[in-house]
Amino acid sequence: MKTLFIKAQKTIKKGTKSKSPRLVVLMGLPGSGKSYVSNYLHEKHGFTVLSGENITFALFDKVD
């Protein structure tokens, strides 16, 4: 996991000068580090983070 994360960091740094929109989709089992990676991308690189829960609350005032 650590090696994969380091490779991803290098790829992101190379792409920071691009004006093209980027979409990163994180999937994995519970506890696999999705939130950690999304928080890192937000804090260090300014990515906007969307989650299914946030989208649901934005669309509906109340979820039954």
Where are the chain's structural domains?
30-64
Given CA atoms 53, 54, 57, 60 in this order, what sign does their dihedral have? negative
DSSP SS3 for 33:
coil
Beta-carbon count within 10 A of 12 CB = 16
Give Cβ neighbours of residue 8 (< 8 Å, ≥ 6 apart).
Answer: 37
- Tell me the pTM: 0.58
The per-residue pLDDT string of the chain (64 residues; one tens digit each, 9 = 90 and over) reads 556 666 666 766 665 566 677 788 888 899 988 889 889 888 988 888 888 777 777 788 665 5
